[in-house]
């Protein structure tokens, strides 16, 4: 019995910490169902009108569409570039692999505001400011590190003899990578893609510097809405994001079991 008490205590503390961290999420979700036009906890009545307001508001629809296009596009490009770079680094196909790894990981340690200001100055100098493609490039810069990190972690865990066996049996390099290596590292890539997608979806510091008038994303819209005054429609769209994120994470976990790589 005495040996089990420390474990039970640690589990209890961990549960309390998790519950404490979820309090803001619970508050936001409860506020989105309130009948009042201002945030109240506990909710004054229950209604779905704020969700209807969000889903019928063209401003929110356009912002959600821009965010999804940006997140899907940057994640897809980051997957292609990140996997290629990770494989080249892992197999020592390029000189200075350690320096290249540090360069690709740099956006994780550099503050996002610094990245946003630097990219703004650069694209202003070359005359490309205000373009959606500029925003896409910026999001690729901040999402590639997640793909590289997860891909390198996955590659380090595979048995290279499997690749060698495929080559001995007549498969060329691309076929070996496509049919052998890629399926082995798929769970890690799914984990990296999810981190990249979420990072792109919720990014404000970089996006706010580079977004044009027609490229307003959902986080930017929420940020500006909160500045002008909080209302339950902001809580409603936040609740929709929470639910959508939970569904995607559960589906990805069931599909690949990516928890092993996070």
In a domain, 247, yes or no: yes
Which conformational region is residue 6 in: left (phi greater than 0), alpha (psi within -120 to 50 degrees), or beta? alpha
In a domain, 26, yes or no: no
Is residue 78 within 8 A of residue 144, CB to CB? The reply is yes
The span from the CA of 234 to the CA of 120, in Å, is 28
Which carries the bigger pLDDT value, residue 234 or residue 62?
Answer: 62
Q: Is the pLDDT of residue 225 over 80?
A: no
Q: Is the pLDDT of residue 1 over 50?
A: no
Name the token pair of 253.
Answer: 């976990």
The CATH number of residue 193's host domain is 1.10.3720.10
Which carries the bigger pLDDT value, residue 140 or residue 43?
Answer: 140
In a domain, 111, yes or no: yes
Of 123-132, 152-161, 186-195, 226-235, the range with the lowest mean pLDDT is 226-235
Is residue 226 within 8 A of residue 168, CB to CB? The reply is no
User: How many domains in the chain?
Assistant: 1
The span from the CA of 258 to the CA of 253, in Å, is 6
The SS3 of residue 12 is: helix
In a domain, 53, yes or no: no
CA distances from 73 to 136, 200, 203, 211 (A): 7, 10, 14, 15
The predicted pLDDT at position 227 comes to 67
The average pLDDT across 40-61 equals: 78
Is residue 32 within 8 A of residue 215, CB to CB? The reply is no
Q: Which domain, by its residues, includes 108?
A: 59-261
Q: Is the pLDDT of residue 8 over 70?
A: no
In a domain, 39, yes or no: no
Name the token pair of 188.
Answer: 């890690």
In a domain, 70, yes or no: yes
The predicted pLDDT at position 77 comes to 94
Which distant-in-sequence residues (6+ apart) come within 8 Å of 202 by Cβ?
Answer: 219
Q: Which residue has the tokens 């590190």?
A: 145
The span from the CA of 87 to the CA of 182, in Å, is 10
In a domain, 191, yes or no: yes
In a domain, 2, yes or no: no
CA distances from 56 to 49, 216, 217, 233, 237 (A): 10, 17, 17, 11, 12
CA distances from 196 to 110, 171, 228 (A): 16, 32, 30
The pLDDT-based confidence of 73 (bands split at 50, 70, 90) is: very high
- Mean pLDDT over all residues of the chain? 81
What is the distance in angstroms between the CA of the first residue and the CA of the last residue of the chain?
33
pTM: predicted TM-score of the whole model, two decimal places: 0.80
CA distances from 21 to 42, 111, 215 (A): 18, 24, 32
The SS3 of residue 33 is: coil
The span from the CA of 212 to the CA of 131, in Å, is 6
How far does CA 59 lie from the centroid of its chain?
Answer: 23
Is residue 71 within 8 A of residue 248, CB to CB? The reply is no
Q: Is the pLDDT of residue 236 over 70?
A: yes
- pLDDT tens digit string along 156-209? 887 777 777 877 777 777 787 778 888 888 888 888 888 899 888 888 888 888
Q: Using omega within 30 degrees of 0 as the cis cutoff, is the peptide bond preceding 20 cis?
A: no
């Amino acid at each position: 019995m005495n040996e089990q008490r420390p474990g039970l205590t640690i589990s209890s503390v961990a549960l309390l910490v998790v519950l404490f961290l979820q309090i803001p999420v619970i508050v936001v979700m409860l506020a989105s169902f309130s009948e009042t036009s201002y945030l109240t906890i506990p909710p004054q009545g229950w209604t779905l009108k704020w969700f209807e307001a969000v889903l019928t508001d063209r401003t929110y629809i356009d912002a959600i569409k821009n965010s999804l296009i940006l997140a899907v596009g940057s994640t897809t490009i980051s997957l292609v570039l990140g996997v290629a770079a990770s494989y080249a680094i892992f197999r020592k196909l390029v000189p200075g692999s350690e320096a290249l790894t540090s360069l690709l990981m740099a956006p994780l340690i550099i503050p996002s505001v610094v990245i946003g200001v630097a990219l703004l100055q650069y694209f202003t100098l070359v005359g490309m400011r205000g373009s959606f493609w500029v925003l896409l490039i910026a999001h690729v810069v901040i999402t590639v590190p997640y793909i590289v990190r997860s891909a390198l972690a996955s590659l380090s865990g595979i048995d290279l003899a499997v690749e060698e066996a495929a080559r001995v049996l007549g498969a060329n390099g691309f076929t070996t990578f496509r049919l052998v290596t890629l399926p082995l590292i798929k769970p890690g890539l799914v984990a990296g893609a999810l981190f990249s997608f979420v990072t792109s979806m919720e990014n404000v510091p970089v996006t706010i510097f580079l977004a044009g008038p027609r490229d307003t994303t959902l986080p930017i819209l929420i940020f500006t809405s909160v500045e002008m005054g909080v209302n339950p429609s902001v809580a409603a769209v936040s609740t929709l994001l929470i639910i959508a994120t939970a569904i995607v994470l559960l589906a990805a976990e069931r599909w690949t079991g990516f928890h092993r790589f996070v």
